[in-house]
Every structure is written in C-alpha cells, then in structure tokens.
Chain A
Amino acid sequence: MSPLKIKKGATSHSAYDLRPNFSDKEERHTLAVLVENEPGVLSRVIGLFAGRGYNIDSLTVAEVDHLGHRSRITIVTSGTPQIIVQIKAQLGRIVDVHKVNDLTVEGPSVERELALFKVTGTGNDRIEAIRLADIFRASVVDSTLESFVFEITGTPEKIDAFAELMRPLGLEEIARTGVAALSRGAVA
C-alpha cells in the first residue's frame, strides 16, 4: 500500500475526556460538529443517532466555510454522561467529521434560535399580542387585519416562554430554526 500525505493540523486528538465521572442523571448537551461538506454527511450523523438510539432535541446545519468546504452541525442532545461521551466518540469516528466540541462542558457559550410565529386575532387579544411581542423584542415581519407574523430570536427557553404566552392569543403556527451556538471569548 502506498501512504498518503497527512494534512497539516489533521486532528488525531479528540475533545472528549476518556475518564469522566459518570452519574445516571440525564443531561442536555449542545454539540458543535464541524464536518466536511460532502453529500451524505448529514445522513451519516442522523443515521448514527437513529441507529444507536440517541436523542436529537434540536439540529441545525449550514455551510460555514465555502472555500474550506466545511459545514457546522449544531446538535442539542440529552442522555446520561456515559451516553454523551459515547455520542461524542461515535461522532468522532465518522470520517467526514473534523471536530466535535461539547459547548456545554467546554466553558461558557451562547445559544440562539430564531422563530417565526403566526398569531391571528382581533380586539384585545391582538393588542395583547403586540404588547407581549414588544416586551420580548419580537418584531412584526408580516401583518394583515387579523394576523401577525412575529420574528423572535433568543435562547430556546425564551422562545418556549413566548410560545406559552401566544397560545391563548390566537397562535396558529410556529417555525423554529433550531439552536445555533458558539463558545464565548476570543478562542474558536
């Protein structure tokens, strides 16, 4: 067999700790998975979660580096610490995966999600809806005489809270993007 050239900076060390303290409590983790932007890569990641019975609470994916041919998949998952370590290790095995970062344990991070809300109503409900939207800094991106479409950004919890408040006021439909997340500070 002829050897190949190993690229500079090729990752061989993984981000996960092999000797963690395991408890049986379920935890929610946000994972940032940097992948080669190849056809089928998302299917590999999703197939892994489905095949091994892991949870996906939220998943977003988009190309983040066109020249470098990289996409970033942000997955919010939950499981016991042992399962979370397994998930990261299994993701690390996928040949198209360059890096797995656990934003939940690797220092502070910011999480944002965007959502669109369609709310219909008239009279007081309509006034209350717009008042609450203002408090939540949601903006109106479409309106008719009996409906609004609000755009809201924030943590998933904030969007959940907004949904709870809109429900009795004529909430018709929600579209959510899923979570995008980055670590805080200067280092990537």
Chain B
Amino acid sequence: MTKAMTGAKMVVQALIDQGVDTVFGYPGGAVLPIYDEIFQQNSIKHVLVRHEQGAVHAAEGYARSTGKPGVALVTSGPGATNAVTGLTDALMDSIPIVVLTGQVPTFMIGSDAFQECDTVGITRPCTKHNWLVKETDKLSSVLHEAFHIATSGRPGPVVIDIPKDVQFATGTYTEARQVETHYNPQVKGDMEMITELAAAMEKAKRPLFYTGGGVINSGPAASQLLRELVAATGFPITSTLMGLGCYPASGDNWLGMLGMHGLYEANMAMHDCDLMINIGARFDDRITGRLDAFSPGSTKAHIDIDASSINKVIKVDIPILGDVAHVLEDLLNVWKARGRKTDKENVQKWWHQINDWKKVDCLAFEQKGKVIKPQYALSRLEELTKKHDRYICTEVGQHQMWAAQYLGFEDPNRWMTSGGLGTMGYGFPASIGVQMGHPDALVINVAGEASWLMNMQELGTAMQYGLPVKQFILNNERLGMVRQWQELLHGERYSSSWSESLPDFVKLAEAFGAKGIICDDPDNLDDAIMEMLTHDGPVLFDCLVEKHENCFPMIPSGKPHNEMLLGENADVANAIKSDGAVMV
C-alpha cells in the first residue's frame, strides 16, 4: 500500500516500520520538520544528547548491546561534522548505525548557505554508504535500503542527508517490502574450502581458534555454534579485543585475549600453532605484531564476510568468504559427518605446552601498600559485579586494556569498546546507548579520567533520562597509555601526558545532580564499589590509582609474539628499537 505524506513524516514512519524504538539526537534548523513529527508520536523515544558525537556513540552502544541497528539524528553543518568521529568509529568496528542528517534546502545547496556543509562528501570515506535525497518520493525507499545496507554483509554506518524542503514536501511512502535492492552479500561459504578446513582440523597437532568481532556481528547463533565447535574439538581458543564474549571467559578452552596487550599463553599459542582458524577477525596490526614473524609455521584459515579482509595483510591458505554463523554450521556438519576426528594425542601435548605457558601467570599483580593498583580495582569490580546482568563499556587507554584483561565476558554483546579507531570519549555516551537498550541491566563504563572528560557533558543526558550508568574512572592523573609509551620509547620525557587541573569529580557529579564517590584506599574499595552498585542513578566513581603503573604484557611495536614484555622487570628500555618506534 502506498500513502502520501511529508518527508518528515516518512522519516518517522520508516523508523517505526524498521522496528526502531530509540533515536539519539540533537535538533537544529535543518531537522525541525522531523523533530516536529517526533513530537507528535509515541512509538519512538528520542534521547536528547549534549553533543552530536555523543549521539553517534550512544547509537553504537545501543547497536552493539542489542544487535539491532542504532539510529542518530543530527542537524546540518556542525551537527553533521560533529558526527564524523562516531561514523568513523562505527566503520572501523563494523557497527550498524543509521545516521540522519538535516541539510539546507535543495535550492540552496552549493551556495555556502548558513550551516551548509557537503555532508555526503565529508562522510563518504567514513560510511559504508551514504545518500543525499533530493526528492521526497525517493526518501522512504532510501530509508529502508539504508537499514538493509547497514545491517547486511559486513555491517557499518550509513548516512542519509535530507534537505529541509524534502522534509516539508509531500510524496509517496513506499514500504520496505516494495523496495528492491541489488545489495546481497554472500553468506554461505564455499563447501570445498569448508571441507578443506575440516580435513586440516583432523590433522592439526597444534590448532588454535583465533576469533574476532565478526563472530559477535554475525549474531548469537554464531557464538552458539562456536561454543559447540570448541567443545566438540577440544581446541584452544583466543579472541581479539573486539571478539570478547563470543566464547565464555569461564570456558575450559579459553586462553584469554591476544594481541599487543594480550595474554602470554594466547600470543605464544598464536606464534607456535600449526593450524590457525581465524573466525571473523582481520589480522589487525595490534594482533599480528611484526608481520614477517607472525605465526611462521601455521596453516592459516580465514572465515570472513568481507573479501577485502582476506589476504589483505596476511596471506591465508584456506580462505572462506561467508557469514560466520553460516560457515560454522556447515563446518560443524562436515566435520561431524567425516567422523569427528582430531589428532587427540598431539592436541593433548599442545595443551600441556599451553598449560606451561599459563603457569607464567602473566596477569599476576601484587596489591601492597595504600595506593590502589588499577588491576586490583578491576579485579574487585569483576568480583562484585560478575553475577549481575552486566554490560561493560570502556574509554581508550591503559584502563581499556586492563578491563579487557581483568574482566570476564560470558556472552556476546556485553562488551562495548572502541577497537579500531581507539576513540577516547566513546565509552560514556556508549554506556548511555546500552542503558537505553537494557533499562534494567547494570551498565558500567570503565574509564580513564582523561577520556571521560572528552564527553563528560553527557552526564546531563544520563540525568535527564534517569539512566543509572556507572562511570568507573581509574584516575591515574595521567594520559596513562601515552605516558607508558613515552616511558618505553621516548626516554621518560613526559611531554603533555599529565592530566592536570582535573575537576573534583564528586563535585562535578553533584553539579549535575548525580552521585559522586571517591576512593583512594584499597581497604575501602569494596564498600565504595557496593555503594556505587546500590545507588539507583548515575554514579561518577573517582578511583584514585597508582599513577605510573604500566600495562603488561606488551608486545612492543615491531616485535613478534614470542618477544613480549611480561612485567616491570622486563628489559623495556632496550625492547623497542627505532624501527618499531615509527609504528603507532
């Protein structure tokens, strides 16, 4: 059925038809007609953020925690340019979001009109796709197609730029099922390749699953199938930062996160394995370390929905183009039909080796004295919250890596962190998005004091909507990760890495009407965390921690996996040679 309505009404109608319940946004002249329509309906909640970057990160947090596309709405010009960091973040981490931007009326485009910018031009390289819609008749089909493109294949952000006259004009509304699209990425993997992988699994002596965000993006079925596959084969499994939760941290075969700040056993297993099964990860430079020394003796299989991820940096032997859940289902069936074989004896030996590596206990730390160690703070947070229905966001820096190391994730969609772009300021707005998607859950943002300040204005949003997000700030009064690199690479010349003139976080919280807690004593930490958990409302927790703690283990840039630095006693000064120092 086709209906006549204004462009602005179409926007709201299409969002309703796409099952959207929440929009994060900020109004302005070029989106007033859409805001007028939002005002006159009750199906969609609008969350007024305090900065458009916050809207996009909130939409990302909503998307990552619910598995549904996130939606943001911003005005033209500065509204659109403020959205760019969030769009790039979502592109790098393959997060499905739909961002609607207002634009000056079509007859003023190109005239340097007030609050005009070339939104589609600016966002072309940081979106999966974008549109400038110049006719109201086309608007609804573009809206529907936008959701399809954002969520199918490798997910990503899309932008729809809507001039104001298009919002006012009346046109014909097209329903989603009437919209034709040619975008239909392959989801089933090639059976020949899948069979080849099954055969390789039967022969492998030192196999390893290396999983990533693709497992999470593929949906809950993918995690389920992965767990089944790991249990059935008995192979060890590690994951990237993006994949945490696809296999439970309490699972028997879990080696922990790998990569630059990954666990010793996970990185050693990557280096020494003879069959690497990459499932939805992309051989990112945080994972591979030095390329020519990356897992030198392994046969590499790679399951990915995006052909351009295959053979991009690491040449693989068994490429499988397809969706993780589809491929894993076929892989399990093929492997079972062939008799469920593995080289048990050698895999057993492999586990002995891995268990020896585990004995290194690379995350061990000692909480002595009166200053809280960040690792201790996170261990206590883990202990006191792991039984909750819990979602964790992070900012970017040392605290992010410690959170990945010391918190355990049992399920997918519980861990929201800016992986690819490394965006400081991501976590707080993301936690707002998560809480909107899960009103009754415990949502914690593990933050650094510097990152948190980057989007602190969103405390107003949390207050306005009564979102009880817990901001757990590991306050080292340092741009800690920058300081660590300066210590290791730049002769301890701490150029601009002190967080100075910090606010009194308790007073800051109170200024917004939120609760502030400060804790600087390990003996009081549990009580303080409990106070945070039992408070029904947003909490800003200022946890004063050791200022010069370094984050280990660490694979220095330009080094292979088996040359990782384990702790304070490591020869860090000589570890990073100048050829590695050029890398970030």
Q: How far is the CB of A22 from chain B (nearest CB, A)?
A: 6
Does A109 touch B at the CB level, under 8 Å? no
Q: Known A18-B311, A47-B125, A89-B310; judge A4-B186 contact (CB<8 A).
A: no
Interface bits A76-103 vs B (CB < 8 Å: 1, else 0): 0000001001100110110110100000
Which of A38-46, A55-63, A143-151, A176-184 contacts its partner? A38-46
CA distance A40 to B124 in the complex (A): 9
Mask for B9-44, Cβ within 8 A of A = 1, else 0?
A: 000000001110000000000000000000000000
With A10-B184, A86-B311, A95-B183 as contacts: A5 and B178 at CB distance below 8 Å: yes
Contact check, A93 vs B124: say whether CB atoms are below 8 A apart. no
Question: Which residue from chain A places its CB closest to the CB of B190 in the assembled complex?
Answer: A18
B326 within 8 A of A: no
Set of chain A residues within 8 Å of B129, measured between Cβ atoms? 95-96
Contact call A2/B177, Cβ cutoff below 8 A = yes
Question: CB distance A6 to B176 under 8 Å?
Answer: no
Chain A min CB distance to B347 (Å): 27
Q: Are B177 and A3 in contact (CB under 8 A)?
A: yes
Identify whether the interface residues of A are mostly helix, strand, loop, or mixed. Answer: loop
Determine if B478 is an interface residue (Cβ-Cβ < 8 Å): no
Q: When the two chains form their complex, are residues B177 and A4 in contact, meaning their CB atoms are under 8 A apart?
A: yes
Q: Which of A5, A7, A18, A98 contacts B321 (CB 8 A)?
A: A18
Residues of A near B154 (CB, < 8 A) are 93
User: Looking at the complex, which of B142-150, B458-466, B544-552 is the stretch in contact with chain A?
Assistant: B142-150
B310 touches A47 (CB 8 A): no
| C-alpha gap A43/B118 in the complex (Å) | 13
A124 an interface residue at 8 Å Cβ cutoff? no
Any A CB within 8 A of the CB of B182:
yes
- Using A4-B145, A18-B319 as known contacts, say yes or no to A13 and B125 having CB atoms under 8 A apart: no
Asked if B147 contacts A39 (CB within 8 A), the reply is no
Distance between B197 CB and nearest chain A CB, rounded to angstroms: 13
Interface residues of A in 10-37 (CB under 8 A from B): 10-14, 16, 18-20, 22, 36
Assuming the contacts A2-B18, A39-B132, asked whether A89 and B179 have C-beta atoms less than 8 A apart, the reply is no
Query: In the complex where A5-B178, A6-B184, A98-B182 touch, is A22 in contact with B315 (Cβ < 8 A)?
Result: yes
**Closest 9 A/B residue pairs (Cβ):** A2-B176, A89-B308, A18-B319, A12-B186, A95-B129, A89-B307, A10-B184, A10-B182, A6-B184
A-B contact pairs, 14 of them (CB 8 A): A1-B19, A2-B144, A2-B176, A4-B144, A4-B181, A10-B184, A13-B186, A14-B186, A22-B311, A40-B124, A86-B311, A86-B312, A92-B307, A93-B306
Interface residues of B (CB under 8 A from A): 17-19, 68-69, 120-121, 124-125, 128-129, 132, 144-145, 147-149, 151, 154, 175-186, 306-308, 310-312, 315, 317, 319, 321
- Which A positions have Cβ atoms within 8 angstroms of B? 1-7, 10-14, 16, 18-20, 22, 36, 39-40, 43-44, 47, 51, 82, 85-86, 89-90, 92-93, 95-96, 98
